[in-house]
Amino acid sequence: MTSPPSSVLIVGSMALDSVRTPAGEVKDALGGSADYSGVAASFFAPVRLVGVVGDDFPRAHLDFLASRHIDITGVQIVPGGKTFRWAGYYDFDLNIAHTLDTQLNVFADFAPTLPEGAKQSPYVFLANIDPELQMQVLTQMETPKLVVMDTMNFWIDGKPDALRDVLKHVDIAFMNDAEARQLTGKLSVVKAAKALQALGPKTVIIKKGEHGALLFHKDEHFAAPSYPLEDIADPTGAGDSFAGGFIGYVAACDDVSLSTLRKAVVYGSVMASYNVEDFSLNRLRTLTKDDIAARYRAFKQIAYFEALDEAAA
């Protein structure tokens, strides 16, 4: 079996999350970087997931992924194994996730093996996961058109050298502003983005939570605003759904020009803004393509401004 054109291969965590926010809490809810990004990307392009769960992972979650036409043949289910678990909370600053507990469980011994067709996937998203696993996936790929990666403080602290190795081999890196500063030691986000570009990726996207996202592409910049939501239930998965929307849109266009990347940043922002409206992946379950189009238009309106009034300048 070969890969469908413009398909996206995603490797990342598949999790059961326990999360508390000022709006409420959930226990052992569907989460994980691969699940959020895979579902977000599935609104745009065919998706294959590679990951691992234990046999405590509810069948209903796998059925939900399959209902989004996500190919889950690359998901290993370990008999007697326990699924990766993350527990965290957010205070009133919803940009800061406080981790209470990370249990790698089945991820501790996971060695991803790509199914035959997956190796030819043109678009690859190495979602937040152990950078050594990201590298193992990358070395199995044949000739991907675009490789995108994400990470988090847990791996910047724990495996910085492995992470730098992955950065050497990717086209686009996502990081939030705090992570970019932490990895590069630069206080300025602009300097941090440039330092990341010097490590390998020619494009760097800095996510600034409720303050939008910045794209650094070679010497060019683009800034996307965030959507002014009145109520945020749970910021978990905002970064992953952003990345999923981004790579899904790029894959659907099968084009990596700057103009497509700028639109992809807006689609990523649209997906993240919907995702945070409810806990876990719940908002993505009911989301429609019309909803996505409506919010894309709203973003365009928010970011619009007139050209310089030469007479007044």
Does residue 57 bind ligand AMP (CB under 6 A)? no
Sketch the per residue contact string, 109 through 148, with ligand AMP: x for CB under 6 A, - otherwise.
-------------------xx-------------------
Number of chain positions touching ligand AMP (CB under 6 A)? 18
Site for ligand AMP in 270-309 (CB under 6 A): none
CB of 163 to ligand AMP, least distance (A): 12
Q: Residue with structure tokens 């929307």?
A: 245
Give me Rg for the CA atoms of the chain.
18
Q: Is 220 helix (H, G, I), strand (E, B) or coil?
A: strand
Strand partners, 149: 126, 173
Closest CA to 38 of 3, 70, 16: 70
Region for 201 from its dihedrals, namely left if φ exceeds 0, alpha if ψ lies in -120 to 50, beta otherwise: beta
Question: Quick one: tokens of 287?
Answer: 């989301």
CB of 271 to ligand AMP, least distance (A): 11
| CA gap 311, 291 in Å, rounded | 40
- The stretches of 101-216 forming alpha helices (DSSP H) are 131-140, 153-158, 160-168, 177-184, 189-199
Q: How far is CA 5 from CA 2, 145, 164, 201, 260, in A?
A: 9, 11, 30, 24, 18
Does residue 105 bind ligand AMP (CB under 6 A)? no
Q: What residues have CB less than 8 Å from 66, skipping those under 6 apart?
A: 72
| CA gap 61, 78 in Å, rounded | 15
| Near ligand AMP by CB under 6 A: residue from 6, 17, 90, 123 | 17
CB of 102 to ligand AMP, least distance (A): 5
Which residue number, 84 or 123, has a Cβ lying nearer to ligand AMP? Answer: 84
Which residue number, 7 or 236, has a Cβ lying nearer to ligand AMP? Answer: 236
Sign of the CA dihedral running 165, 168, 169, 170: positive
Stretch that binds ligand AMP, among 30-38, 65-73, 114-122, 191-199 (CB under 6 A): 30-38
Question: Quick one: tokens of 129?
Answer: 């996961």
CB of 82 to ligand AMP, least distance (A): 14
Does residue 76 bind ligand AMP (CB under 6 A)? no
Which residue number, 33 or 269, has a Cβ lying nearer to ligand AMP? Answer: 33
Does residue 33 bind ligand AMP (CB under 6 A)? yes
* Residue 41 dihedral angles phi and psi, to the nearest 5°: -65, -30
Q: Which burial class, exposed, middle or buried, applies to 92 when counting CB atoms under 10 A from its CB (0-12, 13-18, 19+)?
A: exposed
CB of 313 to ligand AMP, least distance (A): 41
CB of 218 to ligand AMP, least distance (A): 26
Strand partners, 217: 203, 220
Stretch that binds ligand AMP, among 27-35, 112-120, 182-190, 248-256 (CB under 6 A): 27-35
Does residue 268 bind ligand AMP (CB under 6 A)? no
CB of 187 to ligand AMP, least distance (A): 22
Sketch the per residue contact string, 205 through 244, with ligand AMP: x for CB under 6 A, - otherwise.
-------------------------------xxxxx----
Which residue number, 88 or 201, has a Cβ lying nearer to ligand AMP? Answer: 88
Does residue 38 bind ligand AMP (CB under 6 A)? no
Which residues would be at the binding site for ligand AMP (CB under 6 A)? 13, 15, 17, 31-33, 36, 86, 102, 128-129, 152, 154, 236-240
